[in-house]
């Protein structure tokens, strides 16, 4: 029977990195709908500018292209501002720790914050998706709620958990774009 232990202590840096990953990678095309619309409008303005030889449309086209390129990063900056506010409002976040015990059918999670503890048993069927980054896993237990688990925090490192997570099939994604599947 597989039993792998891990421990994670929350940090503002990890929270911000996870937020950037969620916004720029995990959300997929949804993050880029607005920039695509801005780019399409920029092309339309550029075509109009060329057809009617109007530099106002050309200026509008340049502004829209710049907005399309900057939009994901502007959104990320706004999100990081919200994170800073949340961390000020909840100083216990960085004092929180998670203790994991991973098994074949799911995992046990014990959360400790300010001397209080809560425990949860989660089945892998309830995990929406797991993303593997070079130095960590993001375990999505909700659409926008993920658990962070760094390589150094796992007994045996990421290699110990990778086969367990790979058994989830399409719900496990490696950062390199290659899909990792289990034979099960």
Q: What is the DSSP string of 100-132?
A: EEE-SSEEEEEEEETTEEEEEEEEGGG--EEEE
Mean pLDDT throughout 90-107? 92
- Is CATH 1.20.58.1030 what the domain over 4-11+93-174 is classified as, yes or no? no
Summarised one tens digit per residue, pLDDT across range 11-56 is 999 999 998 888 888 777 777 889 999 999 999 999 999 999 888 9
Helix, strand, coil fractions of the chain, as percent rounded to 5: 50, 30, 20
Token pair in block for residue 16: 């911000």
63 token code pair: 């502004």
> pLDDT grade, residue 176 (50/70/90)?
low
Alpha-carbon gap, residue 100 to 177, rounded angstroms: 27
Any idea which of 38-42, 128-132, 134-138, 171-175 has the lowest mean pLDDT? Answer: 171-175
Collapsing DSSP to helix, strand or coil, 149 comes out as: strand
pLDDT at 112: 95
pTM (2 d.p.): 0.79
pLDDT at 182: 41
């Amino acid at each position: 029977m597989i039993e792998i232990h891990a421990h994670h202590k929350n940090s503002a840096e990890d929270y911000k990195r996870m937020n950037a990953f969620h916004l720029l990678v995990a959300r997929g095309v949804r993050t880029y709908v607005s920039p695509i619309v801005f780019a399409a409008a920029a092309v339309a303005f550029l075509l109009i500018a060329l057809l009617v030889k109007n530099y106002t449309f050309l200026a509008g086209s340049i502004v829209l292209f710049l907005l399309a390129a900057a939009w994901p990063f502007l959104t990320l900056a706004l999100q990081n501002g919200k994170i800073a506010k949340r961390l000020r409002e909840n100083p216990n976040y960085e004092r929180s720790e998670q203790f994991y015990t991973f098994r074949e059918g799911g995992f046990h999670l014990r959360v400790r914050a300010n001397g209080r503890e809560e425990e949860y048993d989660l089945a892998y069927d309830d995990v929406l998706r797991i993303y593997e980054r070079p130095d960590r896993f993001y375990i999505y237990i909700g659409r926008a709620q993920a658990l962070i688990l760094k390589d150094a925090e796992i007994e045996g490192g990421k290699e110990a958990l990778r086969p367990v997570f790979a058994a989830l099939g399409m719900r496990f994604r490696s950062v390199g774009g290659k899909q990792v599947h289990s034979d099960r």
